[in-house]
Amino acid sequence: MMKKVGIRDVATAAQVSVTTVSHALNETHASRVNPQTRAHIQSVAAQLGYSPNKLASGLRTQRSNFLGLVSDEIATTPFAGEMLQGAQDAAYERGWLVMILDSSMDLELEKHQINFLLQHQIDGLIYARMFHQEVVLPAQLAKTPVVLLDAVSGDGSNSSVVPDEVAAASTATTALIEAGHRRIGFINNRDDIPATHARLHGYREALDKHQIDFDPSLVITAAADASGGRVAALQMLAAETRPTAVFCFNDRMAMGAYQAAGSLGLRIPHDLSVIGIDNLELIADELWPGLTTVALPHYEMGSWAAERLLDEIEGKAGASQLHQKLDCPLIERASIAPPTPG
């Protein structure tokens, strides 16, 4: 059987985001996409044989299957929506609906929400965190199929999906190296979370691979927001031999690096190249020049979690759990240029 063409396939082929495809192929939202892009996406979708009518035939005839998705803090997380959308789209293509509950990190509320879902004959649950972390699953869920989204459990007893953080940082660093940079600063998060350690690892791995010595003075940690990135970048750029390029832990910190460069009269990318991680469109698209960054695959993680959970529920999965790390693609905009001689 041929694999059904999905919205992700169209996005990849058209080199746009899943959200843009979704808007372009939807009557109500099409006006948000510029006409050229829209025509391009429609043409790609037609070539691939993608049908924007996502309704699985099963939904009309089967009982209404539903999955629960419990997450910690949708309200304060700008890319939460992409994960939810990915899970929902994948479930819907197979005839399932997803019920979303936001526990706001209140463990008592979470317990009630999960009990409620179990009472309502939930068939499985996606247990989501809004950034990659280790979790302990509530005991109530011992007998329910559960897949962890952007999280892993210490005992590995549930399938899980997270971004490949090491590869993401290596991709970012390599993009700077390939543009000709050798003196590359890394502004890292100061929080003790998996991404902090893994991204430092990936940065060093890329340097090693290109025979560039690791210089600890080129790594500064700070709060993972624009203000933290700005202060760290100002410090880094005041050094006698300043880096010609900066890799920032995330796009918010990269926004701070832009502010630091601006205040020092350095132009991006001519005087300083910058790259982030996240592809948070509200920042990466809106900065001027646009921020080249490495996308965290939030939509794809949500989609993977729903697919895997349904495979487990429907008996299509093998006996062993899967622990998936998803690729993080480079998204090129305009913040990288070769270093200026001298």
Q: How many residues does the chain have?
A: 342
Which positions from 206 through 245 interact with its own copies, judged by CB under 8 A? Answer: 225-227, 230
Which positions from 280 through 309 interact with its own copies, judged by CB under 8 A? Answer: 280, 282-283, 285-288
- The answer to whether the beta carbons of residues 26 and 54 sit under 8 Å apart is no
Token duo for residue 96: 């399932």
Q: Which of 252, 274, 304, 325 binds its own copies (CB under 8 A)?
A: 252
Q: Which of 4, 29, 270, 316 binds its own copies (CB under 8 A)?
A: 29
Residue indicated by tokens 């093998």: 318
Min dist. Cβ of residue 295 to its own copies (A): 15
Alpha-carbon distance of 232 to 253, in angstroms, equals: 9
In 3D space, the residue among 149, 108, 109, 105 whose CA is nearest the CA of residue 125 turns out to be: 149
* Residue 77 binds its own copies (CB under 8 A): yes
Alpha-carbon distance of 162 to 298, in angstroms, equals: 9
Q: Would the CA dihedral through 294, 225, 217, 270 be positive or negative? A: positive
* Residue 279 binds its own copies (CB under 8 A): no
Query: Looking at beta carbons only, is 287 or 317 nearer to its own copies?
Result: 287
Query: Looking at beta carbons only, is 37 or 259 nearer to its own copies?
Result: 259
Residues in contact with its own copies, total (CB under 8 A)? 59
Query: Looking at beta carbons only, is 187 or 287 nearer to its own copies?
Result: 287
Alpha-carbon distance of 275 to 124, in angstroms, equals: 38
121 phi-psi bin (left φ>0, alpha ψ -120 to 50, beta other): left
Which positions from 115 through 154 interact with its own copies, judged by CB under 8 A? Answer: 115-116, 119-120
Burial of 49 (0-12, 13-18, 19+ CB in 10 A): exposed
Min dist. Cβ of residue 138 to its own copies (A): 14
* Residue 22 binds its own copies (CB under 8 A): yes
Residues at the site binding its own copies, with contacts judged by CB under 8 A:
19, 22-23, 26, 28-29, 53-55, 59, 64, 66, 73-78, 80-82, 84-85, 88-89, 92, 97-102, 104-106, 108-109, 112-113, 115-116, 119-120, 225-227, 230, 252, 255-256, 259, 262, 280, 282-283, 285-288
